[in-house]
């Protein structure tokens, strides 16, 4: 009998606890499960409904297996789940540079594209940043530049044990639990996060997960039309602790977007668009980066989540985007990672 078969049976009966999930993931992340059994376990978990106990159980083990990094206590991450199918430009990556330009240490966690044309690692590489810098240099990087990038494969080597199973299931259109774990596995163990999710169900799970972590603060964003960012298209839902806040940027006189101006292409194109908005171009991409960065500033300043405070932070964000400091952050990170 496979060592994870009993956990598959528990998943079928909707009786897989946090402790059981941890036990199963300990086997999986040590590479001790057979491929067919692993596929069945992941598929069963997905089909029967992933809940906060499954996420917490998986995260507990994966944090033990990751290559951790020492970062400043006040650091923030802007890593989302992806998977919204919108093929937009790299909003959260651009936001990371803006927040860093505002003096907030940013420990950005990310990967190459999985569900879009261009992931955070892809666009950073196109900007000339060395995404494969040694992990033991990352603490110095954030100390010297105020920002760092932690490339997921370098910090989660145990993920090699699930790569083939994920690829097989992906071809069948099956999203596994791994699609929602990334933002919870920041190698710097950040205490503040802006997390975009692509469904209200995942937002609910994340809300419950963070409510069990008293030392962590997160704004969990489910955007209009399923976007995993604050969308300028309509009303967004932002979860924080026990609150669910409805927010439409139009209320702050931000125009509805020209969708073409938000559409991403290859990494080089997406990188050039980030340079554009940090060099004076005002368009729909500028607007959506601004409002998402303003939310990050509200979180950093521990302000109450309301339109007034978002508006105040939006003004400060505009200064950082317009005076060249956000652009300087790209150059600082580029120089440090390549030296």
Local confidence band at 145 (pLDDT 50, 70, 90 cut-offs): very high
Local confidence band at 179 (pLDDT 50, 70, 90 cut-offs): confident
- 38 and 115 housed in the same domain: no
Which residue, chain included where needed, has tokens 């309509």?
234
- Whether 10 is in a domain gets the answer yes
Q: What does the pLDDT average to over 114-139? A: 90
- 223 and 310 housed in the same domain: yes
- 254 and 181 housed in the same domain: yes
Question: Domain boundary at 65, 87, 105, which?
Answer: 65
Q: How far apart are alpha carbons 70 and 82 in whole angstroms?
A: 26
- 248 and 118 housed in the same domain: yes
Q: What does the pLDDT average to over 142-147? A: 98
pLDDT computed for residue 139 by the predictor: 97
Task: Give exposure, 160-184, as e/b (b: 16+ Cβ within 10 Å).
Answer: ebbeebbebbeeeeebbbbbbbbbb
pLDDT computed for residue 180 by the predictor: 86
- 140 and 286 housed in the same domain: yes
More confident residue, 75 or 2: 75
pLDDT computed for residue 225 by the predictor: 85
- 190 and 287 housed in the same domain: yes
Q: Are 104 and 74 in contact (CB under 8 A)?
A: yes
Question: Domain boundary at 65, 89, 112, which?
Answer: 65
User: How many other CB atoms are found less than 10 A from the CB of residue 260?
Assistant: 8
Above 90 in pLDDT, residue 174?
Answer: no
- Whether 328 is in a domain gets the answer yes
Domain count, the chain: 2
Q: How far apart are alpha carbons 137 and 157 in whole angstroms?
A: 18
Residues whose CB is less than 8 angstroms from the CB of residue 63 and which lie 6 or more positions away in sequence, other chains included? 185, 189
Domain that holds residue 215: 76-155+164-338
The CATH number that applies at residue 140 is: 3.40.1030.10
- Whether 70 is in a domain gets the answer no
Taking all residues of the chain, what is their mean pLDDT, rounded to a whole number?
93
Query: How is residue 104 written in tokens?
Result: 């907030």
Q: Helices marked H in 212-283 — which ranges? A: 267-277
Strand (E) or helix (H) holding 218: strand 217-222
- 294 and 334 housed in the same domain: yes
The CATH number that applies at residue 29 is: 1.20.970
Least confident of 109-123, 222-236, 284-298: 109-123
- 88 and 140 housed in the same domain: yes
Longest dimension (CA), the chain: 63
Q: What does the pLDDT average to over 166-195? A: 90
- Whether 17 is in a domain gets the answer yes
- Whether 71 is in a domain gets the answer no
pLDDT computed for residue 175 by the predictor: 81
Model pTM? 0.94
- Whether 216 is in a domain gets the answer yes
Q: What does the pLDDT average to over 131-159? A: 96
- Whether 132 is in a domain gets the answer yes
Give Cα 184 distance to the centre of its chain: 8
Q: What does the pLDDT average to over 143-158? A: 96
pLDDT computed for residue 269 by the predictor: 96
Local confidence band at 1 (pLDDT 50, 70, 90 cut-offs): very low
Question: Domain boundary at 37, 65, 93, which?
Answer: 65
Above 90 in pLDDT, residue 286?
Answer: yes
Tens digit of pLDDT for each residue in 62-86?
A: 999 999 999 999 999 998 887 666 7
Above 90 in pLDDT, residue 229?
Answer: yes
- Say what percent of the chain tops pLDDT 90: 84
């Amino acid at each position: 009998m496979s060592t994870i078969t009993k956990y598959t049976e528990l998943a079928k009966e909707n009786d897989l606890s946090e402790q059981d999930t941890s036990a199963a993931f300990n086997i999986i992340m040590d590479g001790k499960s057979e491929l067919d059994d692993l596929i069945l376990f992941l598929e069963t978990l997905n089909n029967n409904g992933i809940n906060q106990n499954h996420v917490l159980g998986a995260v507990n083990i994966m944090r033990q297996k990751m290559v951790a990094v020492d970062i400043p206590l006040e650091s923030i991450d802007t890593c989302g789940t992806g998977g919204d199918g919108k093929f937009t430009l790299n909003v959260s990556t651009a936001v990371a540079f803006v927040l860093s330009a505002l003096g907030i240490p940013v420990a950005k966690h990310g990967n190459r594209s999985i569900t879009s044309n261009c992931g955070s690692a892809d666009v950073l590489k196109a900007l000339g940043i060395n995404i494969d810098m040694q992990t033991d240099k990352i603490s110095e990087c954030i100390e010297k530049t105020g920002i760092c990038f932690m490339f997921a494969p370098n910090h989660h080597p145990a993920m090699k044990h699930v790569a083939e199973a994920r690829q097989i299931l992906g071809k069948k259109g099956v999203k596994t639990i791994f699609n929602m774990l990334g933002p919870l596995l920041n190698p710097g163990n950040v205490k503040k996060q802006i997390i975009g999710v692509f469904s209200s169900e995942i937002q609910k799970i994340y809300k419950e997960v963070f409510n069990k972590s008293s030392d962590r603060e997160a704004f969990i964003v489910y955007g209009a039309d399923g976007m995993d960012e604050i969308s300028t298209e309509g009303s967004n839902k932002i979860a924080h602790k026990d609150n669910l806040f409805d927010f439409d940027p139009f209320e702050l006189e931000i125009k509805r977007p020209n969708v073409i101006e938000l559409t991403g292409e290859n990494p080089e194109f997406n990188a050039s668009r980030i340079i554009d908005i940090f060099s004076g171009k005002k368009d729909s991409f500028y607007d959506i980066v601004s409002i998402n960065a303003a939310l990050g500033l509200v979180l950093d300043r521990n302000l109450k989540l309301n339109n007034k405070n978002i508006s105040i932070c939006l003004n400060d964000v505009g200064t950082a985007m317009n005076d060249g400091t956000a652009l300087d952050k790209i150059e600082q990170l580029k120089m440090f990672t390549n030296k």
